[in-house]
Chain A
Amino acid sequence: MRLPDVDWSVLRGSLILGVFALAASVALVGGGQWFHKETQARFDKEQRRFQTNSRRYLAVDEEERLIATHLPSYRKLEQSGVVGEEQRLAWIETLREVSASVRLPSMRYEIQPQKEYQPPVAVSTGGLRVYASPMRVQLGLLHEDDLFRFLDTLAQRALGKFSVERCTLRRAAPAVQTDPAKPNLEAECELLWLTIRQPGEAKAG
């Protein structure tokens, strides 16, 4: 039968029914799938919550032991600036104090933005992360021992932990000078200032 021979008045109702059936079928299947997906997500969420809560409840004795064992050390780390927000102002003040204490002829520093840091040894950080702020210091020295004293004093007084990545030492003058304002040696060191905190805890400024 050719298309022009088709009497559409005979088929119209069935065609409309077919379109409606197709739409209804798609809607029914889609709705069913959507409902199934939604309830599956809700079930997964509740199941995870149940597993977490039951695990925590069963581990409450262990939690008590962990708190009793590690909370004092954790508080000390907080007080020493190792845990929590980095203390840039305190660092700068400490750098100035140490520089004055060692009587360095000159000191310059540059601290870069903080980034997440992967410790060089295997350790589980749990829900916490280690962050590092790269810092470069340029020191004018009268004697090479001044570098040792600077780093040693910094390690004792500074809040938080730091690790030295690189140091170069070079002669600043051809002959040794006795003027305390003029350095005989120049040192440049790259440090990483490390802090431990929860992800996303950093404050701007």
Chain B
Amino acid sequence: MTSSLRSRFSSSRFSSRFSRGPRRCFYLSGSRLTVYQWRRGTLTDALLFQRSDEGLADFATYLEEQADVPSYMLLDLVEEEYRRDTIPHVFGGDRRNVIKYRVERAFRETPYWHGHIQGREPEGRRDDRLLISAVTNPGLVKPWVERIQEHKVPLAGIYSLPLVSAAVLPVMEASRGEVLLVSLQSTGNLRQSFFVDRDLKLSRLAHMPLLAPEGVVETTLDEVEKLRRYLNSLRLLRRDAALQVYVLAHGPVMEELRRQAVGSPTTAYHLADLADLADRIGMSPAFVTPYADAVFAHLLLSAPPANHYALPAETRYHTLYRARGALRAGSVALLVGGLVGGGFGVTEGLVLERRAQAAGQQADYYRMRYEEARGGLPPSPVEAADLKAAVETADALDRARALPLPLLSAVSQALDANPDLQVENLEWRVDPSPEAAMGSGTGGRAAPPPGRGGGVGAAPAQGLYHLVLVNGRVTVPEGDFRRALETVSAFAESLRTQPGVREVKVLTQPLNVSSTESLRGDLQTRQGSGKQDFSVRVVFRKDDAAA
């Protein structure tokens, strides 16, 4: 049956140093497993399960009730061995392969092993120092792990207590030199772990018979002395060096230690009361006992290191648990982002809504005022501004209006002054360019005048030119080319005197006397005769005529 060691304690009594979520430590010590529960940065409760069918069933029931808590298994077993070795200084996959080879050679039967590189040799080819630890009897661990897996508990890792206990050394300012950490465990055993510069070299769990405090201390000091001599024999400790022994104890055992552990040239004792230590690491004083189990559980849960022994399949629910946590955090972030983004839009929208209402009220106010003022005005078919625009546009169209009358009148007057001329055909048109091509029919225009028809083009600022092409025949006695030329010249000259005429150009003379052209004929026929005896092009501008 499950029994609670500290169930009377409530987590609310303890101040919280961390805002971390709940977690727990499965402290496995041979025949029993203690569950230390953790909430808000400190231990809150402990449960004890025996390694029996009933105990395992209780454990399964407990896990069924509380499966969804990240868990860390801490092993405090006699059946844990350590080997120190050296391997070539290689990296990555090569290092893993070398370590695996050494482990398989040393511990063939267990899946629970851990290789830890502890710096390099100072001499030779400077190989890496390797500490291999392994659980030699995995059967002690398997039953618990199987139930953990069955209930999909997020197991983060399985840890070696001696390796985890290194975390207490800095708290006691014992990180340097040769240090022996001694602690009494709740199983009644004495844990001795030897460190050099905080690197674990070996650990030993010695059986401690049930004795009075005086007997416990005597046995402890004997075990320390035996281990010191063993370290000397292994050359892990120089014979002239004093072994720094840090003993974790509390209560009558500590008082007895203070009397008996006086030290010697080869051994220096440093006594650490577990109550003081608990205070320094932030552990609840409710968990202070003569045994150091809770301290190591607290150290593990407060700063969990990387997994030591657990297989990937055994930690897969922890991976899934973290993935699920990330998904939930992402979902919350998405929702918060959506709320912020949407809220921003809605807030801005509400502000705009109020401003729109205010603008609408002002618009209505001015509309009413305008209609009141407008009531006294005569009705207008269009906006007042458009009345003006219509009148001005009509005036502009009048100014721009093109009629052939002025220019054709000028041509007519010039023809009246020269009765020998007879017009065959005449073409008139308006164009923004005075150089626009002219010809018979509608195909003679070079380009349609901009602004005329179709609603395209910009209005030319300088107005339009009126162009006339006169094709005609001059009637003179046959062969009197001189008179014919004079008549056409007189016609052109007459045109030039008309108001608004800008240019008069004789395009075709009755006879081409230019030196650059060939000239042929005979006395019986008219020289240079053709369908058009002459043609004259006239450029006129209405503005000039008005001036």
Q: Do B382 and A127 have beta carbons less than 8 Å apart?
A: yes
> Looking at chain B's contact residues, is the secondary structure mostly helix, strand, loop, or mixed?
helix
**In the assembled complex, B334 has its CB within 8 A of some CB on chain A:** yes
Instruction: Across the A-B interface, give the 7 residue pairs with the lowest CB-CB distance, nearest first.
Output: A32-B345, A25-B338, A126-B389, A28-B342, A32-B342, A116-B455, A21-B331
In Å, the complex CA distance between A166 and B426 comes to 11
Confirm or deny: A40 has a beta carbon within 8 angstroms of a beta carbon on chain B: yes
In the assembled complex, the CB of B421 is this many whole angstroms from the nearest CB of chain A, namely: 13
Further pairs besides A11-B320, A63-B384, A117-B455: 17, Cβ < 8 Å: A14-B324, A18-B334, A24-B335, A33-B341, A39-B353, A47-B359, A49-B359, A50-B362, A64-B376, A70-B388, A74-B390, A117-B453, A144-B423, A151-B404, A162-B401, A192-B452, A196-B390
Q: State in angstroms the CA–CA spacing of A40 and B342 once bound together.
A: 15
Given known pairs A50-B366, A123-B396, the reply for A66 and B360 (CB within 8 Å) is: no
B230 at the interface (CB under 8 A from A): no
Interface with B: A51-59, A92-100, A103-111, which one? A51-59
State how many residues of chain A have any CB contact under 8 Å with chain B: 99
Asked if B519 CB lies within 8 Å of chain A CBs, one says no
Chain A residues positioned under 8 Å from B382 (CB to CB): 74, 127-128, 198
Q: Given that A29-B338, A60-B370, A73-B391 are known contacts, is A168 also in contact with B425, CB under 8 Å in the complex?
A: yes
Most A CB within 10 A of own CB, among B382, B398, B464: B382
A26 within 8 A of B: yes
> Residue of A at shortest CB range from B387?
A70
Nearest opposing residue in chain A for B409, CB measure: A148
> With A and B bound together, what is the CA distance between A21 and B339 in angstroms?
11
Residues of B in contact, count (CB < 8 Å): 104
Among A22, A168, A198, contact of B334 (Cβ-Cβ < 8 Å) = A22
A7-B320, A57-B369, A66-B388 known; A36 vs B352 contact (CB < 8 Å)? yes
Q: Is A180 an interface residue (CB 8 A)?
A: no
Residue A170, interface by CB 8 Å: yes
User: Can you list 20 contacts pairing A with B, beta carbon distance less than 8 Å?
Assistant: A11-B323, A11-B327, A21-B330, A25-B338, A35-B346, A36-B345, A36-B346, A36-B352, A42-B352, A53-B362, A57-B370, A63-B384, A70-B388, A74-B391, A121-B463, A151-B403, A151-B405, A161-B394, A169-B427, A171-B423
Asked if A166 contacts B453 (CB within 8 A), the reply is: no
What 0/1 readout, one digit per residue, does chain B (316-357) give for beta carbons within 8 Å of chain A? 110111011001101110110111011111101110110111
How far in angstroms is the closest Cβ of chain A from B452?
6
Tell whether A137 is near chain B: CB-to-CB under 8 Å. Answer: no
Q: Which residues of B contact A127 (CB under 8 A)?
A: 382-383, 385-386, 389
Nearest opposing residue in chain B for A68, CB measure: B378
Identify which of A28, A78, A126, A194 contacts B341 (C-beta below 8 A).
Answer: A28
Complex Cα spacing A19 to B403, Å: 78
Q: Is the CB of A32 within 8 A of B343?
A: yes
In the assembled complex, the Cα of A161 lies from the Cα of B397 at a distance in Å of 8
Residue of B nearest to A21 (CB): B331
